[in-house]
Structure 1
C-alpha cells in the first residue's frame, strides 16, 4: 500500500476578493479551503490581490532594518509582556508556548521585529488594555536606514495582510455554515500582530550544534495567520501521522494556517497545525531566510466556545476561554520562559512527532 505524498493545497480566493464574485465560484473556493483546513491545516492561497509593490515594500523594509548592527536593533527591544519591537536571537523558545518541558532553553535563533494594532486603531472601543494593545515602537533614522521608508513598507503590508485575513474568515464562516458575521463580530478590535522574522546570523556568533533551532515547534495562537515567506528551505509542518515535512510557497502564493482559537471554536474539525523552522544550514553556515507572519487573533474579550455544529461523539475538547486569556498563556511561554499549562493537547502532539 502506498501513501500519497504530503502536499499543501493551493486555493484560488479570487471570487472572494472580487466584489462581484460569482456565488458558485465562491462556494467552490470555500469548499476547497474547508477541505484544506480539515486535512493539512496549511494552505497556499493565490488570487489574494496583494500588489507586487506591497511585497517589495515589505522585503525592502525588512532587509534595511535587519541589516543594521545588533546593538542598534537591540535599542528597540521591549519587555516580554509587550508584543512589540525587536527580539534578539535566542531570546525566545516557541515550544514553551505549548508547555513542552524539554524546551526550557531559550534557543530559537531567529531575530524578529513586531508591530501591531494599538488602542488608537480602535477609537470606537473604550477601556482596551494598553499592554495588549500597545502602540508600536518604530525604529528611528540611522546611517543607511530610512525610518520613514521602513514604516511605510511595513504599514502597507500590515493593511494588505489584514484584508486577506478578513477575506479568509468570511470564507471560513461560509464553509462552516455559520452566521456570516461570526468572525467579524469577534474581530472588530482584533489583536492583530505582524512579526517579521530573519533567520541569519553573522559568522562566528553561534555554534551549529544539535540544539540549535530556527523557531521551535508551535501552533499559532489566534484565528488565522497570513504568511509571506521567501523560498529558502526551513519551514516544516507536522502531518496527522506525526511526521515533519518541508514546506515552501509556490511562486506568488501566500501561506495560510489556522491558529488555536479556530481549533477551539471548531473542536479541532479545523486543525491548528504544528510547525517549526529548522536552521537552513548550507556548507556549515546558516543560509538567510525571511518571513513575515500576520496574526489575526481576535478581540481580547471575545469568549471562544465550541460551535454547536462541531461537537461530535467525543464531546467538547476545550472549555470556554477568552482570546486574551489564551494569548497571555501562550506569550508567557514563548517570551518569558514559563511553561504553558493550558496546552496539553498540542504538547502531546509535539512529543509524539517523529523526526525524519
Structure 2
C-alpha cells in the first residue's frame, strides 16, 4: 500500500454531544494510526481558522525582523525559551546517532511555554518551567497576544488527544491527566529560510538540512504547518515520504515517552524537514509551529502493564519526564551526543 498519513475526525471528543459509539470509532482509528504510521491528520479539532491565521501572522511578524534584533531574545542552550538562530541546533544529536556535534540545522525558531509563574500553588523547578522571553511591542506588537491565543487552543487539542489515547489503550479516562496536570508544554515556532541571496546546488550535494532527523521527546505533538513541502516521515521500510497537512488539519505525532509507556505498541516516528530547492537555487520558505505536550517534570514513566505481552519484559527502564527531556535537549541544543540507548538503535535500524 502507498504511504499515507491517515485523516481522523476527532469531533466526537471535541463536541459535547459525541456518543460513546462515535468515540469508540475515533479511538479505534487513532490506535490503528499510532500502531502503523505514528502520524495523524486530525480534523474536527475545533481550533478557529482565525487563530491559526493569527499564528501565521505572528510568525511572519517576528521572523521578518532584522537578525540582530532577533538575537536579542536568545537564551542559553539549557533554557528552552526565546529565539534560536540558524545553525545553532542539530536535532539528530538528541537521538545520539550523529557523531559530529557540529550544529547544522538551518531553521530558526522561537519557543514559549508554561512557566513556573503559571503554577503559583505548586513547587515546580524553574529549570523545567523557565519564564518566557517575549519580543517587545516595539519590535512585534501583535506577537504575544496571537501566540498566547493559539497556545491555549493547541494545549486543548493535546489534552483531547491524550483522552482519546486513554480510550484507545483501554486505560482509565484520567490516566494521562494524572501525569500532565502541570505538564512541561512548549510551543516552538519554526522558520525555514536561508538568508536572502543564498544559493544552493541543484544537484542536492549541498549539506543542507532544515531540521535533522529526530523523534519528538514527550507524549504528543500538535503541529500546525503551512502548505509548503518539506516535512518528511520515515516509514517502517526505511523510506522517506513528504507530508503536507490537508487544509484545515493539524498534524499529530507521538513522542518518545508514549513509545516507552506503550512498550512500542505505539512508536515515535522519525521525521525531518528538507524544504524544497527551487529552480533558481533558493530554498522555498516554510513555516510551522509544534506544540509539545511532555508531561509533569517529576512524573515517572513506566511501561503500561497491559502493553507487555506474556513472557515479554519491558523494553525501557523507568525514567522521569524531566530527566528524559533534559538529556534530549542536551543533545539538540547544547551539542552533546545523547546516549539514547534503545531509541538510538531503533532509529539506526530504521535508517539502515
What residue in structure 2 maps to residue 316 of structure 1? 314
Instruction: Give, in angstroms, the shift of residue 352 of structure 1.
Output: 4.0
Instruction: Give, in angstroms, the shift of residue 216 of structure 1.
Output: 0.3
What residue in structure 1 maps to residue 86 of structure 2? 89
Q: Does residue 254 of structure 1 match 2:247? A: no
Q: Does residue 42 of structure 1 match 2:39? A: yes
Whether the 8 Å contact between 1:93 and 1:103 is mirrored in structure 2 is: no
- 2:151 match: secondary structure: helix
What residue in structure 1 maps to residue 165 of structure 2? 172
- Counterpart CA distance in 2 for 1:166 and 1:263 is 17
Q: Does residue 153 of structure 1 match 2:150? A: no
Structure 2: runs of 5 or more not aligned: none
Deviations, residues 258-311 of structure 1 (Å, cap 9, x unaligned) = 000100000010110000001321121011000000000000000000000011
- 1:186 match: secondary structure: helix
Note the 1:242-281 alignment, pairs <5 A. Answer: 242-281=238-277
- 1:221 match: secondary structure: coil
What residue in structure 2 maps to residue 330 of structure 1? 328
Q: Which moved more, 1:117-126 or 1:294-303?
A: 117-126
Whether the 8 Å contact between 1:213 and 1:278 is mirrored in structure 2 is: yes
Of 96, 115, 118 in structure 1, the residue corresponding to residue 115 of structure 2 is: 118
What residue in structure 2 maps to residue 202 of structure 1? 195
Instruction: Give, in angstroms, the shift of residue 347 of structure 1.
Output: 2.4
Whether the 8 Å contact between 2:275 and 2:286 is mirrored in structure 1 is: no
- 2:83 match: secondary structure: strand
TM-score by length of 2: 0.96
What residue in structure 1 maps to residue 5 of structure 2? 8
- Counterpart CA distance in 2 for 1:349 and 1:261 is 14
47 and 222 in structure 1: CA distance in 2 versus 1, 3 angstrom threshold = same
Of 213, 226, 229 in structure 2, the residue corresponding to residue 217 of structure 1 is: 213
- Counterpart CA distance in 2 for 1:12 and 1:154 is 25
TM-score by length of 1: 0.94
Alpha-carbon RMSD: 1.4
Instruction: Give, in angstroms, the shift of residue 241 of structure 1.
Output: 1.3
Instruction: Give, in angstroms, the shift of residue 205 of structure 1.
Output: 4.9
Give the paired residue count: 347
What residue in structure 2 maps to residue 238 of structure 1? 234
Whether the 8 Å contact between 2:158 and 2:221 is mirrored in structure 1 is: yes
